[in-house]
């Protein structure tokens, strides 16, 4: 125990503790040696302590060992040693020599080490372990006084160290280590300074008074496990001062044992590490918050995450962020975090408070004072405007922290707790550093959000490029326009995306930018991912801070295309312009307009002659349109025919509108276009369409056409009928969008294949939604596709029915054991099924069945009859099915009896066209019929013999019941008379013989009666009736009442039903079984008989259980055999025929009887009666 205690303590001690033999070789050594010399204890064991010494100090070291050995007190000396890694270290040695154990006890430490007081509480235990008295060894009388003096001084030194050290020292009892914990016996002054608790406050109490809600339970469990196993332990946890303030503490706990090795105390050295821990937490917190602000999220989600993180870090119930408005007039709530229900109550109660003016409330006050504000006792704090919410939610203290950037408050963080204000005090200094750090991060996030909003929401292109020819960042609008992702745009030089014709001017413009010139308007073309050309107008400048270009661009593709279109139209469209001046009553025609009218240069148009160029039938319409425009400001666009100056009819299109001044139309102007060729083509096309439509509307197939874009261009009436879609709702629409029922994956594939290959396609397909089959033909054309479709559901249904019919026929042919045949009369072909091979042995594959081969195999005696029947069948149209029996020759030459069943199919005229039949081999049936016939003849003979035998038995029964009993009565009577008349003259032996004779005669008579009963079983003349089993058993008990009273028998009847059967036989069954139960009872024990019934689906199950003498299992069958007895007649009377009668009755009633029994444990007889 002492050695174990020593080893535990020295391994926890910072100094190296060791023992050596007389030559200085290490015997034991603590783990601190690894830190001191670099060697593990295992490496040092067996080495001489001089081996680790500096070479020049080895001689002195050996001298010191000799000096220690010669003294009785501890000696201290200093020398130099060599670390395993080769450097020189200065060592202080202290030790003494144990003469009894012949070993040195040494402590070793570095000369500059300055922390012996940290583990001073161990010193007393070490002194005890190192002292000569440790194994109950008493010192010499001459040295006792000196040792006591040395011990006294040593203890005074230890007391001074413990008292004056800055680390708290706690000494407790060793036990208990349960939920209560050991009691505190001693604390030093440093403990009071650290915790605020005086010695009187804590003595007799458990150290757990220092723990609280934030004390790490996992660390406490680890320490508890160490204490339970008497192991030293070090942990770092949060403890609580007397004021409730949190602080971090590092404690080292060690057990102390007495001289017997019993652990008596725990010594705990505790040091306040709050400052170091807070520094760690501060650094970690700043890193984590910085990471949260660097996430790719907007400001409010970021602040919500930061609030949640800070609240979780400090254990606050609520946290909120306030930002100062842009006009600097108020501070607004933008994000909150609620840890629990209390916080949610706080915000629900104060949900209408979303802002504060400057200097109002906690956020406004922090904004005004530019410093952290800590407010407690909120219920009495008038400046805390939300104190009602605080009271309802239980919030006791709040803290506000300004968020500052460049000495300007940007916002305020507010934290609240339901704990004492001391909880916030603990974090006050830590969170002060967040003021500037979070302010900087907030400012950066605000700017980042603003820029991202502009960058992401602007409809124009914004980009950042470098002069190395690559984009560095592109706005979403640019990606959408150019059809590339930002990653794709950044991965290639920007010239890769520019139209080749614009390479040179773009490069030239970039060079200007690099020289510091600003581009205000520069146009070039970009190629999109799909090959489209986009015109962009750029404004760009060089970044002053970096060697980058910042540019914005506008998509001017539409304007460019419109300009190009206008230029082209002017050249090709032959569109002229006109103008009608209503003030001066003049008309202007452009050259193109004059050419269309076929007038010369000298022709001067006016309103009247211009109107007369229109064909006479449309002039009034044109005049009306012009008047409507002048009066109601209605623009016009019409197509009308004119007659030119040369008499030619020509179709023109006129577009016009008015110009108004002071609510009066002063001018009409517009365009004038020759559309004669187009109009003629339209008219011809309309006529062709009319002819085509007439044809397509008359066909009985559905017909549709689609153009290259899959828009429906034609849909005939039959298509409307078949598909249920009106043409008005589908013309011009995508085929896929308007009739999804019609478009199946198969049709979709065929349509695209025809469009891609230009090849016609024809196929059949099923439309599940319509539940119809269609035959579809697709024909490609230059403009798209045409498709014909016909409903073929009836045909497919007939084909399917025919296929299923054939399939069923094939399966029946394969599955049945009959020989199936099918005779096509019109084509004179005969089909044989597998049955012809199975039944008759004919090969289906090698033989070619014909009507003649079938006839040849019919037995000659049956052929004429079969042939005549077939002729009658053909001649009589009313006969459609028939069957015949005949003999048919097998492949082996043997004849089989068959029954041939067949049906005949006739045409509408009643002429047979097909016969289908099945031949069944009935040879075994025929043989069975012959055998059954012979058996019936034999049975008839046996029945007559049995009837004669039964008559003889009945005669015997009569004789037995009458003739055989008469002699027995005479024998019994005369013997009785002999006994009465000559009894006085007979000796006892003679009287015994007479008794034997009389008894034998009586038993003979009983046997005859029993035989008579046995022979009568099954010959009852009774009728079936409803029999109450309860009444039946009561009647039996009444007959047995004398025996029941004598034996004191007890009956239990359960669930006895009323059944429909023969009463007399069943009465005899119960009488015999109950009688046996009473007869075969145990001596001196009253019989206990249980009768019960159970109803089964087809029968009644009865049981009669007794507590009698029982029966061995080997006699279970024997007892039902007639005249079989298990006991002599002297002990139990009877003839041995009763159970035979019972068994015969039960079996005649259609039931069964059996038993379960064990000797001396009674018997249970079971029997069933069918319902």
Domain covering 459-563: architecture: 2-Layer Sandwich (3.30)
What's the pLDDT band for 929 if we cut at 50, 70, 90?
confident
Residue 790's DSSP bridge partners are: 775
Looking at per-residue confidence, does 724 or 660 come out higher? 660
| All structural domains of the chain with their residue ranges | 1-143, 166-272, 276-342+360-450, 459-563, 573-679, 699-791, 797-921, 929-963, 1017-1170
pTM value? 0.34
- Give residue-wise pLDDT tens across range 1113-1142: 888 888 887 766 666 565 666 666 788 889
CA dist 390 → 358, 372, 376, 422, 429 (Å):
22, 20, 11, 17, 24
Give the position of tokens 């109660």.
Answer: 349
- Residue partners of 777: CB distance under 8 A and separation at least 6: 760, 761, 762, 787, 788, 789
How does the average pLDDT of the chain come out, rounded?
Answer: 83
Whole-angstrom distance, CA of residue 157 vs CA of residue 151: 10
Which of these, 397, 398, 384, 399, lies nearest to 435 by C-alpha position?
Answer: 399
The Cα 789–Cα 761 span in angstroms is: 12
What mean pLDDT comes out for the span 173-193?
85
Answer whether residue 709 shows pLDDT above 80.
yes
CA distances from 663 to 322, 582, 584, 628, 630 (A): 59, 14, 18, 15, 10
Which pLDDT band, with edges at 50, 70 and 90, does 1012 fall under?
A: low
Are 581 and 674 in contact, with CB atoms under 8 Å apart? no
Mean pLDDT, residues 212-225: 89
What CATH number is given for 276-342+360-450 in this structure?
A: 3.30.450.40
Contact call for residues 1014 and 1144 (beta carbons, < 8 A): yes
**Per the structure block, which two tokens stand in for 738?**
């308007």
Cα dihedral 603, 609, 615, 620, rounded to 10, equals 160
Q: How far apart are CA 555 and CA 553, in angstroms?
A: 7
**Which has more confidence, 837 or 332?**
332
Indicate if the pLDDT at residue 136 is higher than 50: no
Task: Write the CA distances from 563 to 64, 383, 536, 1063, 1086, integer angstroms.
Answer: 111, 69, 15, 122, 130
Share of the chain above pLDDT 90, in %: 28
Torsion angle of the four alpha carbons 43, 48, 50, 51, in this order, in degrees rounded to the nearest 10: -40
385, pLDDT greater than 70: yes
* Sheet of 664-674, strand order: 586-589, 575-581, 664-674, 649-661, 636-643
Which residues are bridge partners to 715 per DSSP?
Answer: 704
Task: Specify the pLDDT at position 1030.
Answer: 94
Bond preceding residue 176 cis, omega within 30 of 0: yes
Q: What is the pLDDT of residues 773-807, one digit of tens each?
A: 888 899 998 889 998 888 888 888 877 776 776 66
> Using one digit for the tens of pLDDT, what is the confidence trace for 1014-1046?
565 555 556 889 999 999 999 999 888 888 998
Task: Report the distance separating Cα 732 and Cα 49, nearest Å.
Answer: 106
Give the position of tokens 């089989």.
896
Tokens (6 digits) for 990: 């003679």
The yes-or-no verdict on residue 155 having pLDDT over 80 is no
The per-residue pLDDT for 323 is 94
**The CATH homologous superfamily of the domain defined by 699-791:** PAS domain (3.30.450.20)
- Round to whole Å and give the CA distance between 873 and 364: 117
- Residue 178 pLDDT > 70, yes or no? yes
Q: Is the pLDDT of residue 180 over 80?
A: no
| Under 8 Å between Cβ of 122 and 254 | yes
Highest mean pLDDT out of 172-176, 378-382, 395-399: 395-399
Q: Which pLDDT score, from 0 to 100, does residue 1069 have?
A: 93
Residue 137 has pLDDT above 60, yes or no: no
Helix, coil or strand: residue 127: helix
Please work out, in degrees rounded to the nearest 5, the angle formed at the alpha carbon of residue 678 by the alpha carbons of 674 and 682: 140
Binning pLDDT at 50, 70 and 90, where does residue 964 land?
Answer: low
- Which secondary-structure segment (H or E) carries 921? strand 912-921
Query: Mean pLDDT over residues 201-207, rounded?
Result: 89
Rounded average pLDDT over 460-477: 88
Interval 334-348: pLDDT, tens: 999 999 999 999 999
**pLDDT per position as a tens digit, 234-293:** 999 999 999 888 888 999 999 988 777 788 888 998 988 888 887 777 778 778 887 888
Say which CATH topology domain 573-679 has: Beta-Lactamase (3.30.450)
CA distance 1031 to 1037: 10
Whether residue 538 contacts residue 526, with contact meaning beta carbons closer than 8 Å, is answered with: no
CB 713 within 8 A of CB 730: no
Half-sphere exposure of 721 (CA within 13 A, CB side): 13
Residue range 218-243: average pLDDT? Answer: 90
Q: Out of 3.90.550.10, 3.30.450.20, 2.20.130.10, 3.30.70.260, select the CATH number for domain 166-272.
A: 3.30.450.20
Q: Alpha helices of 784-830 — where are they, by DSSP H?
A: 793-815
Residues in the chain: 1171
Instruction: Tell me the CATH number for domain 797-921.
Output: 3.30.450.20
Long-range (24+ apart) CB contacts under 8 A made by 375-380 are 375/399, 375/400, 376/420, 376/421, 376/424, 377/421
- Tokens representing 435 are 């003021």
Q: Judge whether residue 131 has pLDDT over 50.
A: no
Q: Which residues contact 954 (CB under 8 A, 6 or more apart)?
A: none
Tell me how many degrees the CA angle 347-351-355 measures, rounded to the nearest 5.
105
pLDDT for res 949 = 62
Under the banding of pLDDT at 50, 70 and 90, the label for residue 12 is low
> Is pLDDT above 50 for 115?
no
1017-1170 has which CATH code? Answer: 3.30.565.10
Please give the span between the terminal C-alpha atoms of the chain, in angstroms, as a whole number: 89
In the numeric block, which tokens belong to residue 942?
A: 């046996």
Q: How confident is the model at residue 971 (pLDDT cuts 50, 70, 90)?
A: confident
Q: Are 79 and 61 in contact (CB under 8 A)?
A: yes
Judged by DSSP in three states, 459 sits in: coil
* Average pLDDT of the segment spanning 78-86: 84
Nearest residue to 363 via CA among 427, 409, 434, 413: 413
Q: Which of 142-156, 419-433, 476-490, 662-676 has the lowest mean pLDDT?
A: 142-156
- Could you check whether 276-342+360-450 and 459-563 share the same CATH topology? yes
Measured between alpha carbons, how far is residue 937 from residues 422, 489, 758, 931, 942 in Å? 120, 110, 88, 10, 9
Question: Tokens 């963080």 identify what position?
Answer: 413
pLDDT at 132: 37
Identify whether the C-beta of residue 739 lies closer than 8 Å to the C-beta of residue 730. Answer: yes
Concatenate the DSSP letters of all residues of 827-876 into one string. Answer: TTEEEE-THHHHHH---TTT----HHHHHHTB-HHHHHHHHHHHHHHHH-
Q: Which of 129, 203, 201, 193 is nearest to 172 (CA)?
A: 203
Q: CA 874 to CA 364: how far, in whole Å?
A: 117
Q: Is 611 within 8 Å of 619 (Cβ atoms)? A: yes
| Structure confidence at residue 443 as a pLDDT band (50, 70, 90) | confident
> Out of 3.40.50.300, 3.40.30.10, 3.40.50.150, 3.30.450.20, which CATH number does the structure's domain 1-143 have?
3.30.450.20
In this prediction, residue 156 carries a pLDDT of 53
Q: How far apart are CA 790 and CA 773, in angstroms?
A: 8
User: Which pLDDT belongs to residue 808?
Assistant: 67
Mark residue 713 as left, alpha or beta (left: phi above 0; alpha: psi -120 to 50; beta: remaining): alpha
């Amino acid at each position: 125990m002492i050695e174990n205690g020593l080893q535990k303590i020295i391994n926890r001690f910072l100094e190296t503790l060791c023992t050596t033999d007389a030559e200085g070789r290490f015997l034991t050594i603590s783990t601190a040696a690894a830190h001191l010399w670099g060697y593990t204890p295992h490496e040092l064991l067996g080495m001489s302590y001089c081996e680790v010494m500096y070479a020049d100090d080895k001689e002195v070291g050996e001298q010191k060992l000799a000096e220690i050995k010669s003294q009785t007190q501890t000696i201290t000396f200093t020398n130099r040693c060599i670390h395993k890694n080769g450097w020189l270290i200065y060592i202080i040695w202290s030790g003494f020599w144990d003469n009894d154990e012949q070993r040195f006890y040494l402590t070793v430490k570095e000369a500059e080490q300055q922390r012996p007081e940290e583990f001073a509480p161990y010193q007393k235990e070490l002194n005890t372990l190192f002292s000569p008295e440790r194994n109950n060894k008493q010192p010499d009388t001459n040295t006792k006084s000196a040792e006591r003096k040395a011990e006294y001084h040593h203890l005074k030194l230890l007391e001074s160290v413990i008292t004056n050290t800055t680390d708290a020292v706690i000494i407790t009892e060793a036990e208990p280590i349960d939920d209560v914990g050991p009691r505190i016996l001693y604390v030093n002054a440093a403990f009071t300074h650290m915790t605020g608790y005086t010695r009187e406050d804590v003595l007799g109490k458990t150290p757990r008074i220092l723990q609280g809600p934030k004390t790490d339970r996992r660390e406490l469990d680890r320490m508890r496990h160490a204490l339970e196993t008497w192991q030293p332990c070090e942990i770092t946890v949060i403890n609580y001062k007397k004021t409730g303030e949190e602080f971090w503490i590092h404690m080292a706990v060690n057990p102390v044992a007495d001289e017997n090795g019993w652990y008596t105390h725990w010594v705990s050295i505790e040091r306040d590490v709050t400052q170091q821990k807070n520094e760690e937490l501060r650094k970690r917190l700043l890193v984590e918050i910085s990471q949260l602000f660097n996430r790719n999220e907007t400001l409010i989600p970021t602040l919500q995450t930061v609030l949640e993180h800070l609240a979780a870090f400090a254990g606050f119930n609520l946290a909120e962020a306030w930002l100062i408005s842009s006009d600097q007039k108020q501070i607004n709530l933008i994000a909150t975090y609620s840890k629990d229900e209390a916080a949610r109550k706080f915000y629900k109660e104060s949900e209408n408070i979303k802002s504060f003016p400057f200097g109002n409330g906690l956020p406004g006050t922090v904004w005004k004072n530019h410093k952290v504000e800590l407010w407690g006792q909120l219920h009495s704090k008038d400046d805390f405007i939300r104190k009602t919410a605080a009271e309802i939610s239980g919030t006791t203290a709040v803290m506000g922290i300004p968020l500052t950037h460049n000495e300007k408050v940007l916002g305020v963080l507010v934290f609240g707790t339901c704990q004492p204000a001391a909880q916030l005090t603990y974090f006050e200094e830590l969170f002060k550093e967040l003021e500037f750090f979070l302010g900087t991060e907030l400012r950066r996030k605000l700017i980042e959000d603003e820029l991202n909003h502009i960058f992401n929401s602007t409809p124009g292109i914004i980009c950042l490029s470098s002069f190395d020819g690559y984009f560095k960042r592109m706005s979403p609008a640019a990606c959408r326009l150019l059809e590339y992702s930002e990653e794709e745009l950044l991965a290639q030089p920007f010239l890769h995306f520019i139209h080749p014709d614009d390479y040179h001017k773009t490069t030239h413009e970039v060079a200007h930018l690099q020289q510091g010139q600003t581009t205000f308007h520069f146009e070039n073309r970009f190629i999109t991912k799909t090959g489209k050309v986009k015109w962009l107008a750029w404004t760009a400048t060089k970044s002053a801070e970096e060697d980058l270009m910042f540019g914005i661009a506008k998509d001017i593709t539409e304007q460019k295309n419109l300009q190009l279109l206008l230029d082209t139209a002017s050249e090709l469209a032959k569109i002229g312009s006109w103008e009608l001046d209503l003030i001066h009553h003049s008309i202007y025609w452009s050259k193109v307009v004059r050419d269309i009218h076929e007038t010369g240069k000298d022709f001067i148009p006016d309103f009247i002659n211009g109107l007369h160029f229109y064909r006479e039938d449309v002039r009034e319409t044109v005049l009306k349109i012009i008047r409507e425009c002048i009066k109601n400001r209605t623009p016009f666009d019409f197509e009308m025919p004119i007659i030119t100056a040369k008499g030619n009819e020509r179709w023109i299109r006129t577009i016009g509108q008015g110009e108004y001044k002071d609510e009066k139309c002063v001018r009409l102007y517009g365009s004038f276009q020759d559309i004669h060729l187009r109009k003629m083509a339209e008219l011809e096309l309309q006529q062709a369409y009319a002819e085509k439509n007439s044809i397509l509307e008359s066909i009985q197939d559905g017909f549709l056409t689609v153009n290259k874009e899959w828009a429906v261009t034609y849909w005939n009436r039959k298509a409307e009928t078949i598909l249920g879609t009106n043409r008005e709702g589908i013309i011009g629409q995508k085929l896929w969008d308007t009739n999804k029922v019609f478009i199946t994956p198969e049709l979709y594939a065929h349509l695209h294949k025809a469009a891609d290959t230009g090849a016609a396609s024809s196929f059949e397909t099923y439309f599940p939604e319509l539940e119809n089959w269609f035959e579809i033909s697709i024909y490609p054309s230059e403009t798209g596709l045409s498709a014909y479709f016909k409903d073929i559901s009836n045909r497919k249904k007939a084909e399917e029915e025919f296929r299923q019919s054939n399939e069923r026929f094939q399966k029946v042919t394969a599955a049945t054991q009959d020989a199936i045949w099918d005779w096509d009369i019109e084509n004179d072909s005969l089909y044989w099924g597998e049955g012809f091979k199975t039944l008759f042995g004919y090969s289906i594959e090698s033989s070619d069945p014909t009507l003649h081969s079938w006839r040849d195999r019919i037995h000659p005696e049956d052929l004429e009859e079969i042939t005549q029947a077939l002729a009658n069948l053909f001649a009589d149209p009313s006969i459609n099915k028939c069957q015949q029996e005949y003999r048919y020759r097998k492949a082996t030459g043997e004849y089989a009896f068959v029954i041939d069943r067949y049906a005949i199919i006739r045409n509408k005229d009643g002429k047979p066209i097909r016969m289908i039949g099945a031949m069944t081999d009935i040879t075994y049936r025929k043989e069975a019929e012959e055998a059954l016939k012979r058996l019936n003849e034999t049975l008839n003979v046996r029945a007559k013999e049995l009837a004669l035998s039964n008559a003889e038995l009945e005669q015997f029964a009569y004789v037995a019941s009458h003739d055989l009993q008469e002699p027995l009565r005479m024998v019994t009577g005369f013997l009785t008379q002999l006994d009465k008349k000559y009894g006085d003259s007979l000796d006892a032996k003679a009287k015994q013989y007479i008794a034997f004779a009389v008894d034998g005669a009586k038993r003979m008579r009983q046997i005859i009666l029993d035989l008579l009963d046995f022979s009568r079983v099954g010959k009852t003349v009774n009728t079936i009736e409803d029999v109450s089993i309860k009444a039946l058993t009561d009647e039996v008990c009444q007959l047995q009442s004398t025996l029941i009273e004598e034996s004191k028998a007890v009956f239990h009847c359960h669930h006895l039903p009323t059944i429909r059967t023969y009463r007399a036989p069943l009465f005899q069954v119960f009488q015999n079984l109950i009688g046996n139960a009473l007869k075969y009872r145990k001596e001196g024990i009253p019989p206990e008989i249980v009768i019960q019934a159970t109803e089964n689906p087809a029968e009644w199950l009865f049981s009669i259980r007794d507590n009698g003498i029982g029966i061995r299992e080997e006699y279970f069958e024997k007892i039902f055999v007639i005249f079989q007895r298990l006991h002599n007649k002297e002990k139990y009377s009877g003839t041995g025929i009763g159970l035979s009668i019972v068994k015969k009755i039960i079996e005649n009633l259609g039931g069964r009887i059996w038993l379960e029994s064990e000797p001396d444990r009674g018997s249970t007889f079971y029997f069933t009666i069918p319902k």
